[in-house]
């Protein structure tokens, strides 16, 4: 099996505080991997290091064997490192159609076309339509994003990421804040993600973590606490002690 994403001895310090402490993770291509840890364990910092929003103090990040440690965020996206956000980061004034269209245009390398009317490339339009269909957004494709129901916005959040044709997709609490009746739609979409996409899930909800992931890494205090197959991690008494305790006993 080839390795899709790898970090080696990744360290990030903010002044005196070490937010990420010597983290070495290796995630296989096509894996369903979960990244868990209590609040303040450094999950968000790690995502920011992986996606290039932050530069590490030391250590390296490799994507599909390519060193991306010093690459800009948008270059990483083009290489296939894509994320979603815990809090929706969408374009309120644009429609789902336009939002996905933008991402696909960037993928096709014609996002900077300034003299071509948008929508004149059939291939692009078909790609957009496929994603709209897949994420059940076709019926609201011309509605301003800011007035979409929250569940639809959450779906769009993932749909945009998929439109970037990810090799590695980082899902940051995809179901956060979604009301129960709309939750199902999100989980189905996640389960239906293409198999060739490596998915890294950052999640608090243990039900989702265990129903979805095959392998788990546990972060505590910025460092890698333990990792392994989901079932093993679930049984690990030390993990229970630091983190899982209640949610497993219940």
Partner 1 sequence: MTEPTPTAKLATQGILARARWHPLEFVFWIVAFGSIWFAPNKHLILTEIAWLALFALSLDLILGYAGILSLGHAAFFGVGSYAAALLAKHGIVTEPVLALFCAGLVAAVLGFATSFLMLRGADLTRLMVSLGVALVLRELANQFGWLTGGADGLQGVTMEPILGLFRFDMFGHNGYVYCLVVLFVLFLAARRLMASPFGLSLLAIKGNPLRARAIGIGVDMRLVAIYTIGGFYAGVAGGLLAQTTAFSSLDVFSFDRSADLLLVLIIGGTGYLYGGIIGAVIFKIMQDYLALWSPQYWPFWIGLVLVVMVLVGRDRMTRWSEPLRALVNRLDWRRTPS
Q: Residue numbers of the site for partner 1 (CB under 8 A)?
A: 51, 73-74, 77-78, 82-83, 85, 89-95, 97-99, 101-103, 105-107, 110-120, 122, 125-126, 128-130, 132-133, 138-144, 147-149, 152, 160-161, 163-164
Nearest to partner 1 of 70, 211 (CB atom): 70
Residue closer to partner 1, measured from CB, 55 or 116: 116
Query: Which residue, 81 or 220, is less far from partner 1 as judged by CB?
Result: 81
Kindly tell me the burial class for residue 114, based on how many C-beta atoms sit within 10 Å of its own C-beta (0-12, 13-18, 19 or more).
Answer: exposed
The residues with which 169 forms a beta bridge, in sequence order, are 82, 199
Residue 148 vs 230, nearer CB to partner 1? 148
User: Residues 177, 150: contact at Cβ < 8 Å?
Assistant: yes
How near is the Cβ of 75 to partner 1 at its closest, in Å? 8
Taking the complex as a whole, the smallest distance from the CB of residue 92 to partner 1 amounts, in Å, to 6
Nearer to partner 1, 189 or 230 (CB): 189
Separation between Cα atoms, residue 224 and residue 177, nearest integer Å = 27
Q: Whole-number minimum distance, CB 250 to partner 1, in Å?
A: 35
CB of 153 to partner 1, least distance (A): 11
Q: Is residue 170 within 8 Å of residue 197, measured between CB atoms?
A: no
For partner 1, which is the closer residue by CB, 2 or 142? 142
H helices of the chain, in order, are: 43-51, 73-79, 96-108, 122-134, 150-163, 180-191, 206-212, 230-235, 237-239, 245-249
- Find the shortest distance in angstroms from Cβ 110 to partner 1: 6
Minimal distance, residue 244 CB to partner 1, in Å: 30
* DSSP string covering 15-79: TTEEEEEEEEEEEETT-EEEEE--TTSSHHHHHHHHHTSS--SEEEEEETTEE-TT--HHHHHHH
Tell me the C-alpha distance between 147 and 61, whole Å.
38
Q: How near is the Cβ of 172 to partner 1 at its closest, in Å?
A: 11
Q: In what order do the strands lie in the sheet with 223-229?
A: 81-83, 168-172, 198-202, 32-36, 215-220, 223-229
Judged by beta carbon, residue 171 or residue 244, the one nearer partner 1 is 171
């Amino acid at each position: 099996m080839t390795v899709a994403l790898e970090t080696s001895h990744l360290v990030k310090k903010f002044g005196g505080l070490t937010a990420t402490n010597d983290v070495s993770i290796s995630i296989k291509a096509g894996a369903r991997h979960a990244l868990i840890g209590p609040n303040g364990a450094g999950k968000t910092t790690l995502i920011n290091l992986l996606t290039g929003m932050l530069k590490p103090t030391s250590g390296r990040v490799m994507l599909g064997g390519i060193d991306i440690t010093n690459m800009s965020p948008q270059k990483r996206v083009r290489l296939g490192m894509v994320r979603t956000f815990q809090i929706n980061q969408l374009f309120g004034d644009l429609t789902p159609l336009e939002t996905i269209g933008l991402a696909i245009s960037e993928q096709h390398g014609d996002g900077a076309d300034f003299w071509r009317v948008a929508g004149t490339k059939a291939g692009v339009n078909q790609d957009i339509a496929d994603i709209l269909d897949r994420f059940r957004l076709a019926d609201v494709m011309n509605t301003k994003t800011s007035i979409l129901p929250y569940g639809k916005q959450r779906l769009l959040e993932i749909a945009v990421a998929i439109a970037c044709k990810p090799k590695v997709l980082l899902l940051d609490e995809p179901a956060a804040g979604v009301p129960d009746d709309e939750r199902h739609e999100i989980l189905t979409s996640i389960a239906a993600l293409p198999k060739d996409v490596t998915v890294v899930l950052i999640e608090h909800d243990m039900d989702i973590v265990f129903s979805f992931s095959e392998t788990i890494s546990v972060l505590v205090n910025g460092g890698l606490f333990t990792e392994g197959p989901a079932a093993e991690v679930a049984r690990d008494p030390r993990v229970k002690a630091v983190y899982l305790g209640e949610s497993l006993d219940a």
